[in-house]
Amino acid sequence: MSFEVFEKLEAKVQQAIDTITLLQMEIEELKEQNNNLKNEVQQASGNSEALVRENQHLKEEQVQWQERLRALLGKMEEV
């Protein structure tokens, strides 16, 4: 009888070890996914900053072109 109890206990311990091993593997996968997502966020942030700078540059160019056009139109009106 005690041998059967020992076998059941051993099976439960083995099951617990298997579950812990699977959970550890899942944790490692989640850590890797988390690191990948952090990298993607950093890249997206860098891309966003680059787009903001480019947008500002294009707005400045637009203002310069508008000023040039106004100057040309002013000269044309004088003629």
For the residues of the chain, what is the DSSP string, one character each? Answer: -HHHHHHHHHHHHHHHHHHHHHHHHHHHHHHHHHHHHHHHHHHHHHHHHHHHHHHHHHHHHHHHHHHHHHHHHHHHHH-
Q: What is the pLDDT of residues 8-43, one digit of tens each?
A: 999 999 999 999 999 999 999 999 999 999 999 999
Measured between alpha carbons, how far is 25 from 38 in angstroms, rounded to an integer?
Answer: 20
pTM: 0.62
Is the pLDDT score of 52 beyond 80?
Answer: yes
Q: Can you read off the two tokens belonging to residue 39?
A: 């990298």
pLDDT of 78 reads: 82
